[in-house]
Chains A and B, each alone.
Chain A
Amino acid sequence: MYTNFSAAGCMDNLSPLSQFEVRDLINIDTPVLLNLHISITNIGFYLTIGAFFLLVVNLLSTNYNKLVSNNWSISMESLYATIHSIVTNQINPKNGQIYFPFIYTLFIFILINNLIGMVPYSFASTSHFVLTFALSFTIVIGATILGFQKHGLKFFSLLVPAGCPLGLLPLLVLIEFISYLARNISLGLRLAANITAGHMLLHILSGFTYTIMSSGFVFFLLGLIPLSFIVAFSGLELAIAVIQAQVFVVLTSSYIKDGLDLH
């Protein structure tokens, strides 16, 4: 038995995609349990950090049943109210309430992991398709099961557009079916692609800027111009981190609504 501690960052490889590489931080190879590979990867580590951060934030914002909240608590309350309004508007003011804890958890999970990805030298967990597809497939399949549970075989009427001519019905049902299946991909793809694209853009631009700025003092001064653009893009990425979390839960609510109320 041996334990292998490897460094998280590999500074020699400066490819824009190297930042998304999943590496083992702590790797334990043992000849027991069918040579089970036990390791803590960087994505697992940052997801754990996210969970710990959420725990700390929620502990800080615990209000202890006080009517007047502290500043931490009021931020969580406003976040709660925002997600609650999304759920009630998208699903149903009455029947949608039971999905609120799931939607809120999903939002806060994605938001925190997006924001952790915005911390320098950290790792963007939500840029990984394995994570986002796991989420999106689970959600869409769950919404489909919900639809079958509630409507039985009538759930297939979801694939029939209202007022559709009979001749076009097979074609439209096929298109709707493909569209429904595509939700699995599109939901996860949207989030991961946005985060990946943003981080790659920052990485590529910073590579150019670094090359310019390290070429001499005049170039260093000239490099301040693209640097300001990168700062602006960083701000944009911060906004995208929030917006993508919101878009994800809005679409999740929409899919759940499709399962509950057939159009």
Chain B
Amino acid sequence: METLLSILAAAVRSGTPILYATLGEILTEKAGVMNLGLEGIMLMGALSGFAASLSTGSPWLGLAAAFGVGACLGLIHAFLSVTLGSNQVVCGLAMTMFGGGASALAGRGYIGMTTPGIGAWEIPLVSKLPIAGRMLFSQDVMVYASYVLAVFLMFFLSRTRPGMNLRAAGDNPKAADAMGLPVARIRYLYTIIGAGLVALGGAYMSLVYNKFWAEGMTAGRGWIAVAMVIFAIWNPLRAMLGAYLFGGVEAFQLRLQAAGASVPAPLLMMLPYLMTILVLLFISVGKGRKLSLSAPSALGIPFYREERE
């Protein structure tokens, strides 16, 4: 029981970086822009969060720095994909390479350092609940903020005017434009905010989850987040499910490794990636129709006012 509880709690913790990245990407994709550079943005977020919190002594300023750096990278992606209409897949790959390389270079002086980072803070009363108390409410503030963010985004996307405008820009930019919505400006805005959230996911890795910086420390989590967006069918609440499922497998395999399981470590470390493929297959086969209905129709397609008929 104790083991199970600790795995559940660890599942939420290791799912949280993915959750931030997934939520950021949902926001961006719903507006019609596909940003595949998550891995690079997360790494830049992890590094800038770590560096800023070391130099200022405040992890909160570290988070702010990570968001800022992520937003700048989002601006680059928005400029290339919205204004210049570049191929968004290739643009995302470029971002992945740039972010990976730039964080490695800029982070070379930070290897081996640690930060106090952000510690756990149990929420009074609810943390005493059975199971849920330990799993959900004995975490850190960033985890609690991610719950709020997921619920808020759900509400924002489905129930508010700006949220509907955002979806219009992603589903039918031509109609949105005819309604007088500034499609380009909307796409810019949510690509920038989305990338900022992605970077927060990276900063969670270096400030909370590990409390150190290492080259390439996200180990494919950015790409897993791209997969989780599809698994979540662009629904922020389902994104929580996907992220924690991934976190659970991660926590489970780490626990097995620590317990000295007879299965070799490299094979255990395959599990999260294998599960990502399986989950994607499962959702594509099972919900293929719902998937194509929920996907933003104009995802990845540039829109030029000049070219409307």
Q: Do these two chains interact? A: no
Which residues on B are within 8 Å of A, measured CB to CB?
A: none
